[in-house]
């Protein structure tokens, strides 16, 4: 078994979906997006799986909706943190 290849956090998929939906990858640089994703994922509980299809089959719709809502909230918090950091950087120059 190769842990880094065989297992992943299902929240990563939902986070990427929401980032693309909001087109945040067009707003921030790759460097900022890497930090942004870490900030978002660190707010969420890990949900490790081997196969996405297992989650699609066994995850109740209500739980999927709850996970999506948590991701949206975490992204909103991360956007707020980036905005505050940007404002602080602009004030110091």
Answer whether residue 85 shows pLDDT above 80: no
φ, ψ of residue 49 in degrees (nearest 5): -145, 165
Give yes or no for a contact between 26 and 86, defined as CB atoms under 8 angstroms apart: no
Per-residue pLDDT reduced to its tens digit, 30-78: 999 999 999 999 999 999 998 888 887 888 999 999 999 999 999 999 9
How sure is the predictor about 82, in pLDDT bands with cuts at 50, 70 and 90?
confident
Give the per-residue pLDDT at 88.
Answer: 57
Could you tell me the pTM of the whole model?
Answer: 0.84
As beta bridge partners, residue 8 has 49
| Better-predicted residue by pLDDT, 27 or 57 | 27
Give yes or no for a contact between 25 and 33, defined as CB atoms under 8 angstroms apart: yes
Q: Which of 7, 6, 66, 77 is nearest to 38 (CA)?
A: 77
As beta bridge partners, residue 9 has 48
């Amino acid at each position: 078994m190769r842990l880094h290849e065989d297992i992943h956090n299902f929240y990563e998929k939902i986070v990427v979906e929401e980032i693309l939906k909001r087109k945040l990858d067009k707003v921030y640089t790759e460097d900022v997006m890497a930090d942004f994703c870490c900030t978002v994922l660190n707010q969420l509980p890990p949900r490790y799986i081997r196969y996405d299809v297992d989650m699609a089959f066994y995850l109740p719709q209500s739980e999927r909706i709850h996970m999506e809502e948590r991701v949206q909230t975490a992204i909103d918090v991360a956007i707020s943190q980036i905005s505050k950091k940007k404002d602080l950087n602009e004030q110091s120059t």
